[in-house]
Structure 1
Amino acid sequence: MNTELSTDPFSEEVARAELYGLLASLWLAPPDAGMLDQFRVAVTQAPETGSALEAPWQALVARMRAATVESAAAEFAALFQGVGKPEVFPYASFFLAGFVNEKPLAQLRTDLAAIGLTRDAALLETEDHVSFLFEVMRYLIAGDDAGVSNLEQQRRFFRAHIQPWIEALCKAVDAQPAADLWRAVAAMTLAFVQVETQAFDLLEA
């Protein structure tokens, strides 16, 4: 997906967009040495001190600092790349319809087309992979096209394509004995989605 993002450092929305981007990266692939180094030397503060995100963020930072490239890659493979059937399928269709490439994916593609977004042909994952959905949210928050990147589009997309299934994904990861770093990723994801849900609830009140 090709998008252009605003880089206004004073925008409060930048933090939301960046967190969606980070989570998208962690759900798509194990962290490389560069990302692990960033967590060891730079990332120390919670997104908002005293918020619901503080404890899960600190836990994620701790697990990232304890991980190695090798341990992270092995855990990611054990959870999401098992021979035959993976332990966890991070796709909306699987959790909403019981199988991958089902009706939820078709509806998602229709909704993406309506806002002018298409899948990059180079991507291996389908559009209902959690990382792709988080990247869409990132774009809807921080993109330059106000006709697409606005609060109402965020609300609609989140309600339709993230909120209905993301808790089930996070719980599925948490239940896996092999989960360590991704248990923290799942906890951070769930906490963030709950904050987002509450914010959209207030918007609709």
Structure 2
Amino acid sequence: MAHTAEIQCPRSISEEDRARAQFYQLLGTLLSAPPSSELLRGLASLQGDETLLGVASRNLAALAERTNPQDAEREYNTLFIGVSRGELLPYASYYLTGFLNEKPLAELRTDLMARGIKPRSNVHEPEDHLSTLCEIMAGIITGEFPCDRNLISQKAFFDAHLAKWAALFFTDLEKAQSAVFYTPVGSLGRVFMAIETDAFAIQ
């Protein structure tokens, strides 16, 4: 993860929250680096029902089963790294202002400081990268950080840093010219963000 906190006592969480945290963690992992062969094998075993999230999970499993790590790495680099820049820039600042390192990043840093979430010294990526935001959401849900893990705390972070742009990014990823393996990743992220948005809306 791009952020760490003091070790907290283990906290029991519901199966639903555990599943939510795992989805956030998975999305964060897939956006932070190319998938390893081990991760691809794990994704290939994903099961899904007839819900939109289940269908997206099955599609991701099918792509993972026939994707090798070398192809996945090339695709990842084309999408997110590139020679000068990748096809997509998964940063809140870019999606909300059109530029990197803008006000959304400053607001995020203020929020992280207030929550006691500290950046690791060996991470040089701006904190508003979507992989980091997903991993932080997972940590808030599981109680990894010193801040409250209740729904009010989760909703505040989601509304402030994800709600306005994450679904749009995942839609762009789903439709990206260079995406093959990452097409169902985009679908999974888009559907999951819609579920989270609807769930928080009724809180």
> TM-score by structure 2 length?
0.91
* Higher mean C-alpha displacement, 164-173 vs 17-26: 164-173
In the alignment, does 2:44 pair up with 1:37?
Answer: no
Deviations 1:153-178 (A, max 9, x none): 10011011001011221232233221
Distance 1:108 1:89 in 2: 17
Distance 2:28 2:202 in 1: 25
| Partner SS for 1:62 | helix
Distance 2:112 2:11 in 1: 23
- Out of 12, 19, 23, the position equivalent to 1:15 is 19
Change (3 A) 1:67 1:159: same
1:136 counterpart residue number:
136
Amino acid of the residue matched to residue 28 of structure 1? S
Distance 1:11 1:2 in 2: 24
Distance 1:10 1:150 in 2: 12
Structure 2 unmatched runs, 5+? none
Distance 1:129 1:10 in 2: 28
* Higher mean C-alpha displacement, 163-172 vs 86-95: 163-172
Question: 2:24 touches 2:135 (CA, 8 Å); kept in 1?
Answer: yes
1:2 counterpart residue number:
4
1:95 counterpart residue number:
95
| Partner SS for 1:53 | helix
| Partner SS for 1:122 | coil
- Out of 30, 34, 45, the position equivalent to 1:26 is 30
Question: 2:115 touches 2:146 (CA, 8 Å); kept in 1?
Answer: no
| Partner SS for 1:45 | coil
* Higher mean C-alpha displacement, 166-175 vs 114-123: 166-175
Question: 1:8 touches 1:14 (CA, 8 Å); kept in 2?
Answer: no
> TM-score by structure 1 length?
0.90
Change (3 A) 1:144 1:118: closer
- Aligned pairs, how many? 199
1:118 is displaced (CA, Å) by 1.8
Deviations 1:72-129 (A, max 9, x none): 0000011111111221101000000101101110000001111111211211311100
**Aligned runs of 1:1-205 on 2, under 5 Å?**
1-3=3-5, 4=7, 6=10, 8=12, 11-40=15-44, 43-46=45-48, 49-143=49-143, 147-203=147-203
Question: 2:34 touches 2:73 (CA, 8 Å); kept in 1?
Answer: yes
Change (3 A) 1:148 1:7: closer
Distance 2:11 2:36 in 1: 24
Identity of aligned residues (%): 34
1:59 is displaced (CA, Å) by 0.9
Distance 1:73 1:198 in 2: 33
Change (3 A) 1:24 1:145: closer
